Amino acid sequence: MALVFDVQQASGKPDDNRRLGTACPFCDTEGLANIIQRDGDCIWLENKFKTLRATRQTVLIESANHDADLVTYEPDELHHVMRFALGCWQQMIDSQQYRSVLMYKNKGPLSGGSLVHPHMQIVGLEQEDGYAALTSANFEGIDVW
């Protein structure tokens, strides 16, 4: 099997990366639905736009600050976000409802991400082993220093 992207599900997604002036749904925390867990500014919720078939897609909003990013967080805030995210990811793994659980960040217009607001994805794959094709080469990059 393979992961199948459902184009129809993606058609109504808000997109402030390509459509400037689009309202950010993550800034309107009062309007959020299907919240799974909350800790301070961190909110874990069901993804409203389930674009991958045979998965459970969730979103983790990292901050109330729309323009924040992992690289701009104070150390304590970064630690809080990462502890919360790893805890949510582990909860899905521990549920044993999925063949594998992926956690990733897709930021920026070239990543496929549609919102600028800092967030991550935690996705439970029902049929696929999301780690099967990973090799050490996936974690290599160019030398910066």
Residue-by-residue pLDDT tens, the chain, 145 positions: 688 877 776 566 555 544 566 688 999 999 999 999 999 999 999 998 888 999 999 999 999 999 999 899 999 999 999 999 999 999 999 999 999 999 998 776 666 666 888 999 999 999 999 999 899 998 888 888 8
Prediction pTM value: 0.86
**Entry field: residues in the chain:** 145
Specify the DSSP element, H or E, that contains 42.
strand 42-46
Residue 137 neighbours by CB under 8 Å, 6+ apart? none
3-state secondary structure of 29: helix
Residue ranges covered by each domain of the chain: 36-133
The one-character DSSP state at 89 is: H
Topology of domain 36-133, per CATH? Answer: HIT family, subunit A (3.30.428)
